Amino acid sequence: MSARALLAFGVLCAAPVLAQQAPSEIVARSTGEEWVAIAPSDLLVMELKPLVGKPRRVVIQLMPAPFSQGWVGNLRTLAAAHWWDGLSINRVQENYVVQWGDAASDDKKKAKALPAGLETVPASAYVVPVVAPLKGVLAIRDAYASQVGITPDGWPFASDGKSYWPVHCFGAVGVGRDFPPDTGSGAELYVVDGHAPRHLDRNLGVVGRVIEGQEHLSSLPRGTGALGFYEKAAERVGIVSIRLGTEVKALPAYEYLSPASPGFTAYVEARLNRKDPFFVTPAGGADLCNVPVPVRRVK
Amino acid sequence: MSARALLAFGVLCAAPVLAQQAPSEIVARSTGEEWVAIAPSDLLVMELKPLVGKPRRVVIQLMPAPFSQGWVGNLRTLAAAHWWDGLSINRVQENYVVQWGDAASDDKKKAKALPAGLETVPASAYVVPVVAPLKGVLAIRDAYASQVGITPDGWPFASDGKSYWPVHCFGAVGVGRDFPPDTGSGAELYVVDGHAPRHLDRNLGVVGRVIEGQEHLSSLPRGTGALGFYEKAAERVGIVSIRLGTEVKALPAYEYLSPASPGFTAYVEARLNRKDPFFVTPAGGADLCNVPVPVRRVK
């Protein structure tokens, strides 16, 4: 038995000539013009306190219109103000979320003042009305909505026909809030770090996704307090800075595989029906969060 | 804004009298007779090398009949032989699996000899024929199968009407294998540590689930080699021992919420329609892996 071949999915082994390619192979063989550049102005770059001297950078792509733009605007304001610098990761809950912000936000005397100009975003902003036939609807069943798909600019969505909304897949970044649904400014953020908690869709604002470095968050020690909050201040993980990509020197360029490209179509088909050599029985389907849009550094 | 109330789901705050309870509240208020004891003989207890003096124990519940019993028998044989003792966690792949076994299994000269009596399990064992109406089918849509549900003894399954099979949810433990589908003995195991990779259903043997301590695996540093394998021997995490529960002194008792109980019915309903105070829009559904069967230590 070869330990290294286990669950290999054709990455390490040459596929027989007639077998279908694995999704990762299809993505690797797509051509440069099938990819779309992500503007640095649409990135947030988080630098955590180094671990044993090694830097820990997490790169987040911000959600484009028509979704969540009130909160995304707040995130740009907070980043421009360097507001998160010196704050911390305060919560790591197994199979759920990693959350950061001001650990003292409960204490009016100690809470860090927010920058001017933050918008109060109403609960109605959790969804967007459908005004024209939705593009990118996928022929897959979903447990949470009557329709799901991927927008032309590469973001998964769900819909009930009247409205559509962004979804909580692994790596999705959302806006923490208190009980009234308009209480989240974006100062407190979380990233999904487990099985997609899709019941949060339409209940919390999804404002982006981690495109690099999520392992620096997901491998953190779990908090032992209620909901995975760290119980001691010393357990919190320091945030050195969060910056808009335009403020970061020598930032690598990133790109996503265009949903309009032939490579993307082949990739989705392969995700839904794994026929590469390892597989005995293709599923004949895949849930939306198991069809992540490929994102990579520009080569 | 209260950081501690964010994403609180009623755990920290008293729910208004008329609001529906959160799933966790329903589970907490179920009565003792709604729970079913898990026999110690159906547990595997893994002790990892302590981290900064702290023990790291992972408790796995073995899959009951009719699923995967050939491999489960092998796991009992391997545990009784103390075969895994001194081996290691060799692979930690982000949003996918953590895998352990003999890192030298590729090298016939260095590979650890397997105990006598291991069964070769055929690919046909990935599924079980349906011979009577399936119990526990849930009225939820699934992207991978025409039917899904939870067996009377508390295990999620999927079905195409002709056969049914166990599924890869977060925490599922499966049998690694090489390309021919009958090559997995159970010596090499993985646990799902991310969004449910349900495309693996019917392609790999599911033999159990982690019921306690998964955080000791999921918070490990990610491997930087292909497929998340650790590149250096020093990065591997040592396994002190894996024992059947019957061999472990002072093992806590565990139990699961019976699917036949009223508490379970209420729990499923609440998972499908979150109406506790935090929620604005209940989903009206949930995918199978977001309805995990409650398991706890006996109080």
pLDDT at A16: 40
> A185 to chain B: which residues are within 8 Å by CB?
1
A279 touches chain B (CB under 8 A): yes
Q: Are A285 and A248 in contact (CB under 8 A)?
A: no
Select from A13, A285, A289 the Cβ nearest to the Cβ of B195: A289
> A289 to chain B: which residues are within 8 Å by CB?
195
User: Residue A172 contacts by C-beta under 8 Å, 6 or more apart in sequence?
Assistant: A166, A191, A192, A196, A206, A208, A209
Select from A13, A179, A279 the Cβ nearest to the Cβ of B5: A179
Interface of A with B in 156-215 (CB under 8 A): 169-171, 176-179, 181, 183-185, 187-188, 190, 194-204, 214-215
> B194 to chain A: which residues are within 8 Å by CB?
170, 194-195
Select from B99, B141, B202 the Cβ nearest to the Cβ of A6: B99
> A229 to chain B: which residues are within 8 Å by CB?
4
Q: Do A177 and B202 touch (CB under 8 A)?
A: no
Please give the residue of chain A at the shortest CA–CA distance from B167. Answer: A283
pLDDT at A15: 38
> A179 to chain B: which residues are within 8 Å by CB?
5, 8, 13, 277-278
B276 touches chain A (CB under 8 A): no
A101 touches chain B (CB under 8 A): yes
Interface of B with A in 211-240 (CB under 8 A): 214-215, 218-222, 226-227, 229
> B7 to chain A: which residues are within 8 Å by CB?
97, 99, 176, 190, 200, 204, 227
Query: Where do the domains of chain B lie, and which CATH numbers do they carry?
Result: 1-30+261-292 (no CATH), 38-104+116-133+170-257 (2.40.100.10)
Distance from CA of A87 to the nearest CA of B (A): 13
**∠ Cα A26 A27 A28 (to 5°):** 90
Q: Do A3 and B103 touch (CB under 8 A)?
A: yes
Q: Within 13 A of B36's CA, how many CA atoms are on the CB side?
A: 13
Q: Do B144 and A277 touch (CB under 8 A)?
A: no
pLDDT at B276: 84
Please give the residue of chain A at the shortest CA–CA distance from B138. Answer: A143
Round to whole Å and give the CA distance between B141 and B283.
13
> B285 to chain A: which residues are within 8 Å by CB?
143-144
Distance from CA of B35 to the nearest CA of A (A): 24
Select from A7, A184, A287 the Cβ nearest to the Cβ of B143: A287
Distance from CA of A241 to the nearest CA of B (A): 20
At B169-200, the pLDDT tens digits run 999 999 999 988 999 999 999 999 999 999 99
pLDDT at B19: 58
Tokens at residue B109, please? 């000269």
Select from A11, A222, A281 the Cβ nearest to the Cβ of B219: A222
At B251-294, the pLDDT tens digits run 999 999 999 999 999 999 999 998 888 898 998 899 999 999 99
Select from A1, A103, A283 the Cβ nearest to the Cβ of B105: A1
Select from B143, B170, B222 the Cβ nearest to the Cβ of A195: B170
pLDDT at A179: 87
Select from B3, B101, B285 the Cβ nearest to the Cβ of A102: B3
A249 touches chain B (CB under 8 A): no
pLDDT above 50 for B12: no
A vs B, Cβ pairs < 8 A, gives 226
pLDDT at A299: 84
Interface of B with A in 64-93 (CB under 8 A): 90
Round to whole Å and give the CA distance between A62 and A39.
10
Select from A142, A169, A226 the Cβ nearest to the Cβ of B141: A142
Mean pLDDT, chain B, whole residue set: 93
What is the DSSP annotation of chain A? --GGGTT-TTSSSPPPTTSPPPHHHHHHHS-GGGEEEEPGGGEEEEEEEEETTEEEEEEEEEPPTTSSHHHHHHHHHHHHTTTTTT-EEEEE-TTEEEEEE-TTTT-TTTSPPPPTTPPPPPGGGGSEE--SPPSSB-S---SS-SEEEE-TTS-EEEE-SSEEEE---TTEEEE---SSTT---SSSEEEEESS--GGGTTTS-EEEEEEE-THHHHTSPPP-SGGGB-SSGGGSEEEEEEEEGGGSTTPPPEEEE-TTSHHHHHHHHHHHS--STT-SS--S---GGGSPPPEEE--
Per-residue pLDDT of chain A (299 residues; tens, 9 = 90+): 344 444 433 333 333 444 589 999 999 999 999 999 999 999 999 999 999 999 999 999 999 999 999 999 999 999 999 999 999 999 999 999 999 999 999 899 999 999 999 999 999 999 999 999 999 999 999 999 999 999 999 999 999 999 999 999 999 999 999 988 999 999 999 999 999 999 999 999 999 999 999 999 999 999 999 999 999 999 999 999 999 999 999 999 999 999 999 999 999 999 999 888 889 999 989 999 999 999 999 98
Distance from CA of B177 to the nearest CA of A (A): 5
- Does the complex come out with an ipTM higher than 0.95? no
